[in-house]
Structure 1
Amino acid sequence: MLLRNARLLDGRIVDVFIDHGRIVTLSTPSTPPTLSSDVGPGEGPEEVDVEGRWVMPGLWDSHVHFGQWAQLSRRVDLSGARSAAEAASIVRERLAAHPPEPGTVLLGQGFRDGLWPDQPTPELLEFGDVAVALVSGDVHCMWTNRAALRALGLPEDAWLLREQEAFDLNVRLSSIADEQLDAWVVEAAAAAAARGVVGIVDLEMRDALGSWRRRFGAGFRGLRVRAGVYPGDLDAVAAAGIRTGDVVEHSDGLLVGGPFKLFTDGSLNTRTAWCYDDYPGLGGPDAAGLAIHSAAELLELARAALERGLLPAIHAIGDRATTLALDTFAALGPLPAPGGSIEHAQLIAAADLPRFAQLGVRASVQPEHAMDDRDVADHYWTGRTDRAFAYRALLDAGAELALGSDAPVAPLDPWVTLAAAVTRSRDGREPWHPEQALTIPDALRASWGGVAGVAEGGIADLVVSELDPLTASGEQLREMPVWATMVAGRWTHGR
């Protein structure tokens, strides 16, 4: 294939010659490409004129839960609820307009109760025999009614669950037939490609690798996927002989083994992120958040995975949790490429900023979370938000950044992610801690999945945009029109 009149981000207009999924040459439009020796007389590449549009490496989302993202649009949207009573009202309206099938559980998602003036109660969700289960926006909390508890065989006091109990119930309620889920996944992958996405790190909580092997075996080729592993799947993945970075067969090289996911703490909105300082108004042993594992337990789990060739990706949101995660990497010693990561790193002690680079630990961060959480952070982390979502400070300290969404927590749209990273603003509000903003080139590099740019010999994972991202405004970035997307030399959107 020959992409004619492609405008690179450095301003050059070139023809991009692609063969067998790689960029062979970048030439001036007046210079014909050098073709493979097996191209016969009268034969030649397919030519596509991009007419001066901007061509850049395809975009990655470094942290998604893809199965949950594919199901999100089928659930009641609670993201706009400003109180528990309003959330219940949204559910009531949905029930009136679209009653669920008898014997099913009505699922909703997206509520954020950190600043609500009232509290969730099971009584607010009582709608006769209709079972209702609501997932919080950060996925760390489940709010159900008693009809759901009866239907699910749960005790009466389990109507508000947090952390692992909430994860387990969400996984249970998200369980649908493989054929249906895979169909929704194909739709979600096409939507992601339409936004320039060429690859994801999928940290779905149950059998992500097995699910993607099934999809690629059935012919899926819409994205590159690095499929993560959780402790419950460790033995099965190890028995299959798949390590982090290994290419999985029957995927044309698009599916590889991903990292090993571990947790240190919870989340900010659920007030379970583990911090050095107590949360205002909370008391008791968990007033500063929740430590999921002791230091010894976390290190033992990480070592067990490392012995099987799986590199850790450690969830840490509070500053004390981030310290624990860095201490774990220090105890593990140097890791082989691509190294380990800390997922989220939302609040960081100043002394820990240089440790990311010193230990070779990547900061996998989600800039749109800063926009979602700025008010709750100002309330619960008051006086500390100068080191919250501190992307500029991390980069200046030498850390490698990888940008993502944590979908379904935030939209799987890399342009939304880029806009949040660059502007620290949304909905016309003043920028929040603009000193922590990234430049557009820095944010793009953190979104390209380890690629530095469009170069000869590189993999032909490309996105073609209608606007120059280097000069686009924040709103233009959020709405960036994508003309086409390509994975390994094959169009996944546009053509």
Structure 2
Amino acid sequence: MPAKILYNGKIHTQDPHLPHATAVAIQGKRILAVGSDQDVRALASSKTVEMNLGGRLVLPGLTDSHFHFIDWVHSLQQLELSGAASLEDVREQVAGAVKKMPAEKWIRGYSWNEIRWPEPRLMTRADLDDLSPAHPVILWRSDKHLAVVNSLALKMANISSETPDPERGVIDRDAYGQPTGILRELAMKLVRDVIPPFTEAENRAAVRDALPRLHRLGLTGVHDFRMMAEETAPVLRAYHQLQEEGDFAIRMWMLLPGEKLEQAISMGLRTGFGNDSLRIGHVKYFSDGGQGARTAWMLEGYEDTHTFGMPITTMEELAAVIQRAHAAGLAVAVHAIGDRANRELITVFEKVKTQKNEFSPIAPHRIEHVQNIRPEDVKRLAKLGVVASVQPLHVPDDYPMVDTSVGPRARFAYPFRDMLDARVPIACGSDCPVANPNPLWGIHAAVTRQMRNGTPVSGWYPDQCISVAEVVRGYTMGAAEATGRQADLGSISEAKLADLVVLDRDIYSIDPAEIAEVQVDITFLDGDIIYQK
């Protein structure tokens, strides 16, 4: 007999065998039955708790398929600069932090984006030095592929005019060869290496405090990406400890950095190893950088810098590690933003032998972002079964930067409609903290290709808009299929885990412009309420 029955709802199950229902019965952590009020309520006993949904929309629990989780939880205690409308706004926040922080303490900020500032230029150390002579400062740009630091931070990292660019990184320099404070790609690691790491107690506390924020957004699952390889062990230990303490109410698909591939193979780890709340996921690699930093690898030069970006890992290296990982039962996820990176990477996947056998990964390989891709390459990608992991909120956040950097070639950016029409499998996420983790904002962005203030009026390249049903699938079944967990997650179906979200409005029927304003009323994980408004 069911412990709970939810009825009088408008349930979009994501199950093609029963796409719509009004009631769901839950027993333990799993769904016992789905159907009409009459059929499902007939299963109730005197001990069954029944909840009248009042006609509200119910979806499977939402999953963010690209989330830098540990970076985000710590960023909540740092300077949040996404709302800075000018360089002066950033300076004011840094000045305020200087007054509060003891001397020599690091000041860290994130998510600044110069593209909409009155003077749209990158910051340099000269913009920070007068504010913070006694505090080292690092401020990450919104895409996390570029950071600006002050002179004290450069000194602490021993970066000078004589410091060579690190492999896969760039130290920007002025006309005299002096570092400007702008660091791109792995040049940022020179500074990160001298910042004191968070302790495991700090990791646990930050995760514990942050999880309720996700529950309020209807998120029951996260695909967690590491920024730095050295974070892997302490973060995994923190997750395990929280799980043992009963403070880990999330389904975490934890990706491993490529630097850990040989260790993972030697220990016999395979993609999917773990339990229902914490599993080892894909192995993450980078093929190129970011478009905002002009390090995404492009087929043609950028309109403003006339450079072509840069490969971060050679295609020969990627082919070798994909082959090795696949043979060991480990799926890979490869970052690719530029159209050259995507083209070359698709060629690698076409050539690498990834036939199914008893040791094949349970999850498909995936490409992260697929931000710029030509139509002919979309068709090639569709034949591979490789998942496109996309982040719809980047469209309204970044379209001015994309227009500036590639001009009319922007028509090849974020081509969600083309990918779905070609039957490329899609999983949706946010890239948080690069973008806001609210999945309703992501759904709004995919459907309208507009900012939340309604601009551009008709949407940015509106021919690439997709439907509410299509993008919801990306946050539910698409995310489950990307992890090989579609038997347990992704739809409201009998025997699946009882993760559900109840919304205050029906996003399928309201004006698409209103979707970003929709609120979560209730979130269920394992059949239990973890958030209720």
| Structure 1 counterpart SS, 2:408 | coil
| Structure 1 counterpart SS, 2:407 | coil
User: Which of 107, 120, 123 lines up with 2:123 in the alignment?
Assistant: 120
Q: Is the 8 A contact 2:154 2:191 kept in 1?
A: no
2:281 is matched with: 258
| Structure 2 counterpart SS, 1:108 | strand
Q: Distance in 2 between matches of 1:187 and 1:474?
A: 32
| 1:4 partner amino acid | Y
1:226 is matched with: 253
Deviates more, 1:375-384 or 1:450-459: 450-459
Instruction: Give how far 1:360 is off.
Output: 0.5
Structure 1 residues 82, 33: closer, same or farther in 2, change over 3 A? closer
Instruction: Give how far 1:344 is off.
Output: 0.4
| Structure 1 counterpart SS, 2:430 | coil
Describe the superposition over 1:208-253 as per-residue Cα deviations: whole angstroms up to 9, x where unpaired: 54443333233233110100010233344334432112224xxxx2
Stretches of structure 1 lacking an aligned partner (at least 5 in a row): 37-41
Q: Distance in 1 between matches of 2:506 and 2:86?
A: 41
Q: Distance in 2 between matches of 1:221 and 1:90?
A: 33
Structure 1 residues 6, 293: closer, same or farther in 2, change over 3 A? same
Task: Please tell me whether residue 383 in structure 1 is matched to residue 447 in structure 2.
Answer: no
Instruction: Give how far 1:23 is off.
Output: 1.3
Task: Please tell me whether residue 23 in structure 1 is matched to residue 47 in structure 2.
Answer: no
Q: Distance in 1 between matches of 2:41 and 2:443?
A: 34
Q: Is the 8 A contact 1:6 1:55 kept in 2?
A: yes
Instruction: Give how far 1:280 is off.
Output: 2.2
| 1:49 partner amino acid | N
Task: Please tell me whether residue 467 in structure 1 is matched to residue 505 in structure 2.
Answer: yes
Task: Please tell me whether residue 331 in structure 1 is matched to residue 351 in structure 2.
Answer: yes
Q: Is the 8 A contact 1:273 1:290 kept in 2?
A: yes
Q: Is the 8 A contact 2:346 2:380 kept in 1?
A: yes
Task: Please tell me whether residue 307 in structure 1 is matched to residue 316 in structure 2.
Answer: no
Q: Map residues 376-455 of structure 1 onto 2, 5 A cutoff.
A: 376-426=401-451, 427-429=453-455, 430=457, 431-448=459-476, 449-450=479-480, 453-455=491-493
1:318 is matched with: 338
2:169 is matched with: none
2:109 is matched with: 108
Q: Map residues 161-240 of structure 1 onto 2, 5 A cutoff.
A: 161-167=183-189, 169-170=191-192, 173=195, 175-205=197-227, 206-207=231-232, 209-240=236-267
User: Which of 69, 74, 78 lines up with 1:75 in the alignment?
Assistant: 78
Task: Please tell me whether residue 134 in structure 1 is matched to residue 139 in structure 2.
Answer: yes
Structure 1 residues 152, 288: closer, same or farther in 2, change over 3 A? closer
Structure 1 residues 247, 313: closer, same or farther in 2, change over 3 A? same
Q: Distance in 2 between matches of 1:55 and 1:171?
A: 45
| Structure 1 counterpart SS, 2:12 | coil
TM-score (norm 1): 0.90
Instruction: Give how far 1:458 is off.
Output: 2.5
Structure 1 residues 35, 474: closer, same or farther in 2, change over 3 A? closer
User: Which of 47, 50, 54 lines up with 1:51 in the alignment?
Assistant: 54
Stretches of structure 2 lacking an aligned partner (at least 5 in a row): 14-18, 162-177, 356-360, 481-488
Instruction: Give how far 1:270 is off.
Output: 0.3
Instruction: Give how far 1:367 is off.
Output: 0.8
Q: Distance in 2 between matches of 1:473 and 1:362?
A: 30
Structure 1 residues 425, 26: closer, same or farther in 2, change over 3 A? same
Instruction: Give how far 1:325 is off.
Output: 1.6
Q: Distance in 2 between matches of 1:486 and 1:362?
A: 27
| 2:82 partner amino acid | S
User: Which of 291, 298, 304 lines up with 2:318 in the alignment?
Assistant: 298
Instruction: Give how far 1:254 is off.
Output: 1.4
Structure 1 residues 79, 171: closer, same or farther in 2, change over 3 A? farther
Q: Distance in 2 between matches of 1:424 and 1:67?
A: 29
User: Which of 493, 498, 514 lines up with 1:476 in the alignment?
Assistant: 514
Instruction: Give how far 1:33 is off.
Output: 5.1
User: Which of 247, 268, 271 lines up with 2:294 in the alignment?
Assistant: 271
Deviates more, 1:123-132 or 1:147-156: 147-156
Deviates more, 1:200-209 or 1:239-248: 239-248
1:357 is matched with: 382
Describe the superposition over 1:233-286 as per-residue Cα deviations: whole angstroms up to 9, x where unpaired: 3344334432112224xxxx2111111111011111100010000112425xxx
Instruction: Give how far 1:170 is off.
Output: 4.3
| Structure 2 counterpart SS, 1:61 | strand
1:39 is matched with: none
Q: Distance in 1 between matches of 2:431 and 2:5?
A: 35
TM-score (norm 2): 0.84
Describe the superposition over 1:58-107 as per-residue Cα deviations: whole angstroms up to 9, x where unpaired: 11100000011112232223224455555334422443xx4212221111
Structure 1 residues 171, 130: closer, same or farther in 2, change over 3 A? closer
Q: Distance in 2 between matches of 1:18 and 1:162?
A: 50
> How many residues end up aligned between the 2 structures?
481
| 1:255 partner amino acid | L
| 2:248 partner amino acid | R
Q: Is the 8 A contact 1:23 1:459 kept in 2?
A: yes
Instruction: Give how far 1:474 is off.
Output: 3.3
| Structure 2 counterpart SS, 1:443 | helix
Describe the superposition over 1:406-437 as per-residue Cα deviations: whole angstroms up to 9, x where unpaired: 00000111111111001100122121011101
User: Which of 5, 10, 27 lines up with 2:8 in the alignment?
Assistant: 5
Q: Is the 8 A contact 2:110 2:139 kept in 1?
A: yes
| Structure 1 counterpart SS, 2:59 | strand
Describe the superposition over 1:23-52 as per-residue Cα deviations: whole angstroms up to 9, x where unpaired: 11124333465769xxxxx76333333222
Q: Is the 8 A contact 1:23 1:455 kept in 2?
A: yes
| 1:201 partner amino acid | H
RMSD over aligned CA atoms reads 2.5
Describe the superposition over 1:296-353 as per-residue Cα deviations: whole angstroms up to 9, x where unpaired: 1121222232233211101000000001221221122346542111100110012101
Instruction: Give how far 1:141 is off.
Output: 1.1
Describe the superposition over 1:180-211 as per-residue Cα deviations: whole angstroms up to 9, x where unpaired: 22222122221111111110100122315444
Deviates more, 1:429-438 or 1:482-491: 482-491
Q: Is the 8 A contact 2:147 2:188 kept in 1?
A: yes
Structure 1 residues 44, 89: closer, same or farther in 2, change over 3 A? closer
Instruction: Give how far 1:479 is off.
Output: 2.1
